Amino acid sequence: MIPRKEVEDMLKIQGDYLVRKTTVARQVAYCISVKHLTDTKHIPLGYANGMWTLKDISKPSLKELLDVLVQTSKPIPPSGVILKTPFPRPDYYFLHEHITVLKKLGHGEFGEVNLGRLKQKNGEEVEVAVKMIKGSRVKKAQLSAFFEEAKLMRRFDHPNIVRFFGVAPQEEPIMIILEFASGGSLKSYCKNHSDIPAAKLLQFATDGARGMCYLAARQVIHRDLAARNCLLGKNDELKISDFGLSIADKTEMKMDKLKSVPIKWLAPETLRQGIFSSKTDVWSYGVLLWEIFAQCSTDPFPGETNQKAKEHILNDPVPMCAPPGSPPVVQEVMDICFIKIPEQRADFVKILKILSPKEEPPSKPAEPTA
């Protein structure tokens, strides 16, 4: 059930091919995807009465059918494509037999999230979180979004970002396999621990800034930074998660209409013009900072409607103050996050320098060599 775009990104060399499941009129079908000139062709396969068929060739096994096509270099009409090299399964693709689902942890945007165990390629087993999606019960656009999130997370390798292990796309339910954050959610931690020391809260804030610094250096805009999307590792280190709305390789994006958006976390330019950028993530980080030092006891702008919160964000010189008892540095950082003009607003490097003065920010990825 690999989306067409994912396959087209994989196949780069003329004649590279793979066989994949797809859906046609809500029925499961199989096709060969093959790189041909500057395009990728998707050729349907037939299966009936124990025989696999492509045009005028029928064989009892798919392997035999593919072998004939490759060995004879037989052009496949109408475009005349020729199969040359089977594309190997990527190292981040796992079979379902490698994954043991243990218990349900919750429900995400696409379906269930479960605790599981993953048998890695080196034979070692590790606890993981497994996001599951039923391919036949979702629209292709949702399936594509599921794979886009996985594709983005493959880029990340940082202790303050939830780690991506891989996907299991060859059967249902389709799975994304992620690091299991054994400390649970930030919101649950705050709910279960009263009077958390300020030093601990500052650690959470610094972890979040470090993770966002890493993302910003890679031109990733999270677009949904909030306490609800922060998890904790085994040493209570904060990890940023939920990249379903994130975009990469853009310094800015604009949405014509804002639908089902978390108003209280949005920057003025997002509310006015639908603009998202690293600087709008900085604004959201200021709100996250408030959540952390309020110990996630309530949503931002407590007791206010979304409309009232929007008025504060757009019109007030300072939309919110640090919760009572916060160290002075919290208000200092919030103030530079809530500067109305994006160009004058702090970036994550500056925020991290204030919270952890001796720390070097995460480095930018190396430029590809010619």
Show which residues are catalytic: 224
State whether residue 81 is helix, strand or coil.
strand
Neighbours of 241 (CB within 10 A): 23
State how far the Cα of 138 lies from the Cα of 243, in Å rounded to an integer: 19
Neighbours of 213 (CB within 10 A): 23
Does 131 appear as a known binding residue?
A: yes
Beta bridge partners of 99: 118
State how far the Cα of 85 lies from the Cα of 100, in Å rounded to an integer: 32
> DSSP string of 96-144?
GGGEEEEEEEEE-SSSEEEEEEEE-TTS-EEEEEEEEE-GGGS-HHHHH
Enumerate long-range contacts of 62-71, CB under 8 Å, 24 or more apart. Answer: 62/19, 62/30, 66/19, 66/32
State how far the Cα of 327 lies from the Cα of 59, in Å rounded to an integer: 73
Is there a contact between 300 and 289 (Cβ–Cβ < 8 Å)? Answer: no
Distances 19 to 70, 75, 207, 334 between C-alpha atoms, Å:
13, 17, 42, 52
Tell me the CA end-to-end span of the chain in Å, nearest whole number: 35
State how far the Cα of 226 lies from the Cα of 264, in Å rounded to an integer: 10
State how far the Cα of 124 lies from the Cα of 42, in Å rounded to an integer: 37
Return phi, psi of residue 248, to 5°.
-125, 160
Task: Kindly state the tokens that stand for 44.
Answer: 């349907």
State whether residue 94 is helix, strand or coil.
coil
Enumerate long-range contacts of 114-121, CB under 8 Å, 24 or more apart. Answer: 115/180, 116/177, 118/94, 118/165, 118/177, 120/165, 121/91
Binding residues for ATP: 131
